[in-house]
Structure 1
Amino acid sequence: MSNNSPSRPGRRAELLAAGAAAVTVVLWASAFVSIRSAGDAYSPGALALGRLLAGALTLGVICLLRREGVPPRSAWRGIAISGVLWFGFYMVALNWGEQQVDAGTAALVVNTGPILIALLGARLLGDPMPPRLLAGMAVSFAGAVTVGLSMSGEGGSSVLGVVLCLLAAIAYAGGVVAQKPALGSASPLQVTTFGCLVGAVLCLPFAGQLVQEAGDAPASATLNMLYLGVFPTALAFTTWAYALSRTTASRMGATTYAAPALVVLMSWLFLGEVPGLLTLVGGVLCLAGVAVSRSRAAARNAAPGAVPEPRSEQAGDSAR
């Protein structure tokens, strides 16, 4: 086999990781529609707790069926930090923030997350920041700004809401960067399951609100909350962890810029919200940026059986 061609196992692993990332982005985009529906009946903390309990139960059953044990001690620091920041704080802050600002403003602020991931990944994990990644993130962020501006002004805005969305973005970035080292010694399913449990424990003070609001909420809102727990949480966070274990945090963060374009499409299909020209242009820019950020000049440096990546990115991964 030529040295310029990736091995078959390496190519298969790369495709599996890309497929896992795609599943994650699609399900996280669908969460936008469900959060809007469930958020009318559930307060931010109650919605987060209900979602996390549904996710933890689903993941727990899967762990028992697969006989996954407790993660090794070396993984617990990353699991605990990601559980507190990403599964717990992020979900409450985002739910609350989206009630204070319009969808466009929320999208603008939260989409600073991938940029923060790249900066934190470079500083704390030694992730490389190749020109293609930086260029792709710049294009995608421009697209996210375009989508956000086109959607702004429909629900009002507040300083509190902007601050909450910014805190959610920071917690998201910190959680991803903390999760990456844990995947070096624990499986994606273990990291996701116990991270979700940590987040659920953190949100237990909202249990009283959840019980009270569940009694008054329409069935559609409760079903949307359960959907959030089973699919965008249990399934999507596991596929995210699987893909993250096979690439850098920076590249995975850049991949999530496909979500705004998918949100536009899903809002069109399921909510009847016809996007304007500016919104469509922004969605195309988001997808184009993701394509650029995930492209690479060559895969000749990949070792047999490994996911092909540029030499600089492999060096960043080996440092971890």
Structure 2
Amino acid sequence: MTNTRATTRLALAAAGVTIVLWASAFVSIRSAGAAYSPGALALGRLLSGALVLGAVLLIRREGLPSRAAWRGIVVSGLLWFGVYMVALNWGEREVDAGTAAMIVNIGPILIALLGARFLGETLPPRLIAGMTVSFAGAIAVGLSMSGDGHSSVLGVLLCLLAAVAYAGGVVAQKPALSHGSALQITTFGCLVGAVACLPFAGQLVHEASRAPLSATLNMVYLGVFPTALAFTTWAYALARTTAGRMGATTYAVPALVVVMAWLFLGELPGLLTLAGGALCLAGVAVSRSRPMPSKAPTESVETA
């Protein structure tokens, strides 16, 4: 029982690290995206992450995962590390941040549905209720962040593609974690995504020669922390819970983005933004909670 509780606490801590770092990514993307095109930014981020992960993998001497893990690694690498990052970077150039946030937050709902369909996961009422509350909060945050409302059809489709790729990648990654460590699955998934983004290498080299140092440092930060570290802690936590629950946890990201934008960008949140962030956190709390065990009847309790 003690070991189980310790593992649960570690998994929750790992998920917390992931959420904080993914939230910080939105701040860094805003800076790096001004100097780097979507594909180049994704490739630079993935190469930075792959270098760090590869070094750690060699130091730990974990080697290659088993053959059974490679299907999930390749699919999640192509969808989540590749398609998702490029589509989201591109989509945020075509639509305002609020619209992008609302569309991409379809992802956790798709994860729960796909997890039920392909992984045999259940959809407990608390999970459904929590996701509903969080999604309402994400919509509120998105509406409060929307600018002039001029969003292209292309941008909406790209954000939708990002949400689908994100969900598909998570569901593909889950079974792979039964055949390899979180570090192995993340490292080789990142490598697959980097290889898929190699057609953008020319753009990356050209733009890196002209980009300000701050943009390049933000790109490297994205690779080292929100990618290498956060995706590894995500995989560690995902291996110890369901894909649906982990997906619901990411609804905490919009709330943290609001706080970080306030602290680091000086963007004061409005009442609707604050209310939406509170709903996101409340929904996550509900989705992660467990029903209280029913108490045994008083008369059935005996003392020795």
TM-score for both structures, normalised by structure 2: 0.96
* Cα distance in structure 1, aligned partners of 2:94 and 2:156: 8
**Paired residue type of 2:129:** A
Q: Secondary structure at the match of 2:174?
A: helix
How do 1:179-190 and structure 2 match up within 5 A?
179-190=173-184
1:199 equivalenced with 2:214 (yes/no): no
> How many Å apart are 1:142 and its aligned residue?
0.2
Match of 2:95 among 90, 94, 101: 101
Aligned-residue Cα RMSD (Å) equals 1.0
How do 1:157-168 and structure 2 match up within 5 A?
157-168=151-162
Match of 2:245 in 1: 251
* Cα distance in structure 2, aligned partners of 1:254 and 1:113: 9
How do 1:1-320 and structure 2 match up within 5 A?
7-154=1-148, 156-298=150-292
> How many Å apart are 1:154 and its aligned residue?
4.6
Residues 262-287 of structure 1: CA deviation (Å, up to 9, x unaligned): 00000000000000000000000000
- 1:103–1:155 Cα contact (<8 Å) kept: no
* Cα distance in structure 2, aligned partners of 1:191 and 1:10: 23
**Paired residue type of 1:8:** T
Tell me the number of residue pairs that the alignment of Structure 1 and Structure 2 aligns.
Answer: 294
Q: Secondary structure at the match of 1:278?
A: helix
* Cα distance in structure 1, aligned partners of 2:292 and 2:232: 29
| Runs of 4 or more above 4 Å deviation | none
> How many Å apart are 1:156 and its aligned residue?
3.3
* Cα distance in structure 1, aligned partners of 2:38 and 2:293: 45
* Cα distance in structure 2, aligned partners of 1:262 and 1:155: 23
Q: Secondary structure at the match of 1:216?
A: coil
- 1:78–1:179 Cα contact (<8 Å) kept: yes
* Cα distance in structure 2, aligned partners of 1:271 and 1:158: 26
* Cα distance in structure 2, aligned partners of 1:89 and 1:282: 28
> How many Å apart are 1:24 and its aligned residue?
0.3
- 1:103–1:151 Cα contact (<8 Å) kept: yes
Could you tell me which runs of 5 or more consecutive residues in structure 1 were left unpaired when the two chains were aligned.
1-6, 301-320
**Paired residue type of 2:111:** I
> How many Å apart are 1:155 and its aligned residue?
7.1
* Cα distance in structure 1, aligned partners of 2:253 and 2:166: 15
Identity value in percent: 78
* Cα distance in structure 2, aligned partners of 1:104 and 1:89: 21
